[in-house]
Amino acid sequence: MARKRIREEEEATIDMTPMLDIVFIMLIFFIVTTSFVKEAGIEVNKPKAANQSKQKSANIFVAVKDNGEIWLDKRRVDIERVAANIEKLLAEQPTEVVIIQADKDAKHGIVVKVMDAIKEAGIDRISIAAAKG
């Protein structure tokens, strides 16, 4: 009987500390290496292009819908507030390129105003997204 009591008291336990340390280190690694992309927040019907060039990844996307709505960082923005919002996003994560996702039926004048606002915010390289044609 004495032997059974000793075995019951000496139950093996697993130390979880090393595994939690590794999981925490992996979490920090993935957070640090992830690039955060500020999507426009909507899908647009992009025009087709015969010639296209692949741009290096951008962090800021501006969408212009066919009805004239401008979307930035998953919310609708007035044309007067585009430059201020771009400046705020640049302060959070600097980038050299902003990509405009304009619907193929969007008015040319609105797209040009958006381009002017982006340049006013300090970005000189603006790309316009197109679908493969």
Model confidence over 13-60: pLDDT tens digits? 888 888 999 999 999 988 887 766 656 666 666 666 666 666 666 778
Q: What percent of the chain has pLDDT over 90?
A: 22
Are 29 and 72 in the same domain? no
8 A C-beta contact, residue 122 and residue 110: no
Answer whether 0.85 is exceeded by the pTM: no
**Best CA proximity match to 122, nearest among 78, 89, 73, 76:** 89
Say how many domains are in the chain: 2
Position 89 scores a pLDDT of 87
Structure tokens at 10: 């000496």
Asked if residue 84 and residue 109 are part of one domain, the reply reads yes
Tokens of 121: 């915010």
pLDDT exceeds 60 at position 6: no
Average pLDDT in the chain: 80
What is the domain extent for residue 93? 48-132
Structure tokens at 57: 């990844």
